Homo-oligomer: A and B are copies of this chain.
Amino acid sequence: MNILPTIGLVDDEPGMLKALQRLLNAEGFRVRAFGSASEFLQRFASETVDCLVLDVSMPGLTGLELQEQLNRAGARLPIVFLTGQGDIPMSVRAIKAGAVNFLTKPVTDADLLAALRAALAEARRFQDENRELAELRKQLDSLTPRELEVLRHVIAGKLNKQIASALGTGEQNIKVHRMRITAKMGLPSVAELVRAAERLGIKPVE
Protein backbone atom coordinates (compact mmCIF):
# COMPACT_ATOMS: atom_id res chain seq x y z
CA MET A 1 0.00 0.00 0.00
CA ASN A 2 3.05 2.25 0.27
CA ILE A 3 1.83 5.63 1.42
CA LEU A 4 -0.81 6.22 -1.25
CA PRO A 5 -3.58 3.61 -1.45
CA THR A 6 -3.86 2.29 -4.99
CA ILE A 7 -7.22 1.26 -6.36
CA GLY A 8 -7.65 -0.89 -9.44
CA LEU A 9 -10.66 -0.25 -11.68
CA VAL A 10 -11.87 -2.91 -14.09
CA ASP A 11 -14.74 -1.89 -16.37
CA ASP A 12 -15.38 -2.25 -20.05
CA GLU A 13 -17.00 1.18 -20.41
CA PRO A 14 -14.32 3.82 -20.94
CA GLY A 15 -16.68 6.55 -19.76
CA MET A 16 -17.23 4.84 -16.45
CA LEU A 17 -13.48 4.35 -15.98
CA LYS A 18 -12.88 8.03 -16.67
CA ALA A 19 -15.52 9.19 -14.24
CA LEU A 20 -14.41 6.88 -11.45
CA GLN A 21 -10.80 7.78 -11.99
CA ARG A 22 -11.61 11.46 -11.65
CA LEU A 23 -13.59 10.92 -8.45
CA LEU A 24 -10.99 8.71 -6.81
CA ASN A 25 -8.08 10.93 -7.79
CA ALA A 26 -9.89 13.85 -6.23
CA GLU A 27 -10.22 11.82 -3.05
CA GLY A 28 -6.49 11.28 -2.92
CA PHE A 29 -6.25 7.72 -4.20
CA ARG A 30 -3.91 6.43 -6.85
CA VAL A 31 -5.88 4.71 -9.58
CA ARG A 32 -5.02 2.09 -12.15
CA ALA A 33 -7.61 1.44 -14.85
CA PHE A 34 -8.15 -1.78 -16.79
CA GLY A 35 -10.56 -2.21 -19.69
CA SER A 36 -11.16 -5.92 -19.14
CA ALA A 37 -10.52 -8.78 -16.76
CA SER A 38 -7.83 -10.22 -19.00
CA GLU A 39 -6.08 -6.89 -19.22
CA PHE A 40 -5.97 -6.81 -15.44
CA LEU A 41 -4.61 -10.33 -15.26
CA GLN A 42 -1.84 -9.43 -17.69
CA ARG A 43 -0.79 -6.27 -15.95
CA PHE A 44 -1.48 -6.81 -12.25
CA ALA A 45 1.83 -8.50 -11.62
CA SER A 46 3.69 -5.30 -12.43
CA GLU A 47 1.01 -2.77 -11.51
CA THR A 48 0.01 -3.80 -8.04
CA VAL A 49 -3.17 -2.51 -6.47
CA ASP A 50 -4.47 -2.60 -2.92
CA CYS A 51 -8.06 -3.34 -3.83
CA LEU A 52 -10.32 -3.67 -6.84
CA VAL A 53 -13.50 -2.04 -8.10
CA LEU A 54 -14.95 -4.55 -10.47
CA ASP A 55 -17.77 -4.53 -13.00
CA VAL A 56 -19.69 -7.78 -13.13
CA SER A 57 -20.85 -7.97 -16.71
CA MET A 58 -18.01 -7.53 -19.12
CA PRO A 59 -17.16 -9.16 -22.43
CA GLY A 60 -14.73 -11.99 -21.93
CA LEU A 61 -14.17 -12.94 -18.31
CA THR A 62 -16.92 -11.56 -16.07
CA GLY A 63 -16.16 -9.88 -12.79
CA LEU A 64 -17.36 -12.89 -10.84
CA GLU A 65 -15.11 -15.18 -12.84
CA LEU A 66 -12.16 -12.91 -12.29
CA GLN A 67 -12.87 -12.96 -8.56
CA GLU A 68 -12.99 -16.73 -8.61
CA GLN A 69 -9.72 -16.93 -10.46
CA LEU A 70 -8.03 -14.58 -7.99
CA ASN A 71 -9.35 -16.63 -5.10
CA ARG A 72 -8.05 -19.84 -6.59
CA ALA A 73 -4.67 -18.19 -7.01
CA GLY A 74 -4.76 -17.20 -3.34
CA ALA A 75 -4.52 -13.49 -4.15
CA ARG A 76 -6.79 -12.30 -1.30
CA LEU A 77 -7.38 -8.92 -2.97
CA PRO A 78 -10.37 -7.07 -1.49
CA ILE A 79 -13.01 -6.53 -4.18
CA VAL A 80 -15.87 -4.04 -4.40
CA PHE A 81 -18.33 -4.94 -7.15
CA LEU A 82 -19.99 -2.09 -9.00
CA THR A 83 -22.40 -3.02 -11.72
CA GLY A 84 -25.39 -1.89 -13.70
CA GLN A 85 -27.05 -5.24 -14.30
CA GLY A 86 -26.74 -6.83 -10.90
CA ASP A 87 -29.26 -9.17 -9.37
CA ILE A 88 -29.58 -10.87 -6.03
CA PRO A 89 -28.05 -14.26 -6.97
CA MET A 90 -24.99 -12.45 -8.32
CA SER A 91 -24.57 -10.44 -5.16
CA VAL A 92 -24.97 -13.55 -3.02
CA ARG A 93 -22.31 -15.34 -4.99
CA ALA A 94 -19.94 -12.38 -4.85
CA ILE A 95 -20.24 -11.84 -1.11
CA LYS A 96 -19.95 -15.55 -0.40
CA ALA A 97 -16.73 -15.51 -2.39
CA GLY A 98 -15.41 -12.82 -0.10
CA ALA A 99 -16.31 -9.55 -1.82
CA VAL A 100 -16.29 -6.49 0.43
CA ASN A 101 -19.46 -5.09 -1.10
CA PHE A 102 -21.75 -5.29 -4.10
CA LEU A 103 -22.96 -1.90 -5.33
CA THR A 104 -25.24 -1.01 -8.20
CA LYS A 105 -24.94 1.83 -10.64
CA PRO A 106 -25.76 4.58 -10.28
CA VAL A 107 -23.87 4.72 -6.99
CA THR A 108 -23.47 7.69 -4.72
CA ASP A 109 -19.93 8.88 -4.08
CA ALA A 110 -20.48 8.33 -0.39
CA ASP A 111 -21.45 4.67 -0.83
CA LEU A 112 -18.53 3.95 -3.11
CA LEU A 113 -16.03 5.69 -0.86
CA ALA A 114 -17.35 3.92 2.22
CA ALA A 115 -16.96 0.58 0.47
CA LEU A 116 -13.45 1.49 -0.61
CA ARG A 117 -12.46 2.48 2.90
CA ALA A 118 -13.65 -0.91 4.09
CA ALA A 119 -11.77 -2.62 1.27
CA LEU A 120 -8.56 -0.77 2.04
CA ALA A 121 -8.87 -1.60 5.72
CA GLU A 122 -9.19 -5.24 4.78
CA ALA A 123 -6.21 -4.92 2.45
CA ARG A 124 -4.12 -3.61 5.30
CA ARG A 125 -5.14 -6.54 7.49
CA PHE A 126 -4.21 -8.97 4.73
CA GLN A 127 -0.88 -7.30 4.18
CA ASP A 128 0.00 -7.24 7.86
CA GLU A 129 -0.83 -10.91 8.14
CA ASN A 130 1.06 -11.72 4.96
CA ARG A 131 4.15 -9.95 6.18
CA GLU A 132 4.20 -12.02 9.36
CA LEU A 133 3.52 -15.20 7.46
CA ALA A 134 6.17 -14.49 4.85
CA GLU A 135 8.84 -14.36 7.53
CA LEU A 136 7.70 -17.64 9.01
CA ARG A 137 7.40 -19.20 5.57
CA LYS A 138 10.98 -18.22 4.73
CA GLN A 139 12.26 -19.91 7.84
CA LEU A 140 10.12 -22.94 7.16
CA ASP A 141 11.50 -23.25 3.65
CA SER A 142 15.01 -23.35 5.06
CA LEU A 143 14.17 -26.66 6.72
CA THR A 144 15.37 -29.80 5.00
CA PRO A 145 12.75 -32.41 4.09
CA ARG A 146 13.84 -34.54 6.99
CA GLU A 147 13.59 -31.67 9.42
CA LEU A 148 10.10 -30.88 8.16
CA GLU A 149 9.07 -34.45 8.73
CA VAL A 150 10.43 -34.34 12.27
CA LEU A 151 8.60 -31.05 12.83
CA ARG A 152 5.30 -32.64 11.86
CA HIS A 153 5.87 -35.25 14.54
CA VAL A 154 6.96 -32.71 17.13
CA ILE A 155 3.83 -30.60 16.71
CA ALA A 156 1.79 -33.76 17.11
CA GLY A 157 3.26 -34.05 20.60
CA LYS A 158 5.29 -37.17 19.84
CA LEU A 159 8.25 -38.16 21.97
CA ASN A 160 11.68 -38.31 20.37
CA LYS A 161 11.59 -42.04 20.91
CA GLN A 162 8.35 -42.38 18.97
CA ILE A 163 9.53 -40.11 16.19
CA ALA A 164 12.72 -42.11 15.82
CA SER A 165 10.91 -45.40 15.46
CA ALA A 166 8.32 -43.89 13.12
CA LEU A 167 11.10 -42.60 10.88
CA GLY A 168 13.16 -45.74 11.21
CA THR A 169 16.15 -44.05 12.78
CA GLY A 170 17.68 -43.37 16.18
CA GLU A 171 16.69 -41.05 18.95
CA GLN A 172 19.92 -39.07 18.72
CA ASN A 173 19.14 -38.04 15.16
CA ILE A 174 15.81 -36.66 16.23
CA LYS A 175 17.48 -34.60 18.92
CA VAL A 176 19.88 -33.15 16.36
CA HIS A 177 17.06 -32.37 13.97
CA ARG A 178 14.99 -30.74 16.66
CA MET A 179 17.93 -28.58 17.65
CA ARG A 180 18.28 -27.39 14.06
CA ILE A 181 14.56 -26.85 13.70
CA THR A 182 14.31 -24.61 16.72
CA ALA A 183 17.42 -22.75 15.61
CA LYS A 184 16.21 -22.19 12.07
CA MET A 185 12.70 -21.22 13.07
CA GLY A 186 13.82 -19.09 15.98
CA LEU A 187 11.14 -20.71 18.11
CA PRO A 188 12.57 -22.40 21.17
CA SER A 189 9.41 -23.90 22.61
CA VAL A 190 7.08 -26.61 21.36
CA ALA A 191 4.16 -24.29 22.06
CA GLU A 192 5.39 -21.69 19.61
CA LEU A 193 6.23 -24.31 17.01
CA VAL A 194 2.68 -25.59 17.23
CA ARG A 195 1.22 -22.14 16.73
CA ALA A 196 3.56 -21.30 13.87
CA ALA A 197 2.86 -24.60 12.12
CA GLU A 198 -0.86 -24.03 12.47
CA ARG A 199 -0.63 -20.64 10.76
CA LEU A 200 1.52 -22.12 8.02
CA GLY A 201 -0.89 -24.95 7.40
CA ILE A 202 1.53 -27.67 8.46
CA LYS A 203 -0.50 -30.64 9.58
CA PRO A 204 0.67 -32.71 12.52
CA VAL A 205 1.48 -36.28 11.61
CA GLU A 206 -1.23 -38.99 11.92
Contact = CB atoms under 8 A, between A and B. Distances in A.
Interface of A: 86-88, 91-92, 95-96, 101-102, 104, 154-158, 188-192, 194-195, 198, 204
Given A95-B95, A157-B189, A158-B189, 5 more contacts: A91-B91, A156-B191, A157-B188, A194-B195, A198-B198
Contacts of A95: 91-92, 95-96
Nearest to A158: B189
Contact of A157 (B101, B192, B198): B192
Contact of A88 (B86, B157, B188, B204): B86
Nearest to A153: B191
A158 B96 CA distance: 41
Residue among A92, A104, A158, A188 having the largest count of chain B Cβ atoms under 10 Å? A92
Contacts of A194: 190-191, 194-195
A31 to B, nearest CB: 24
Given A88-B86, A91-B92, A92-B101, A195 B198 contact: yes
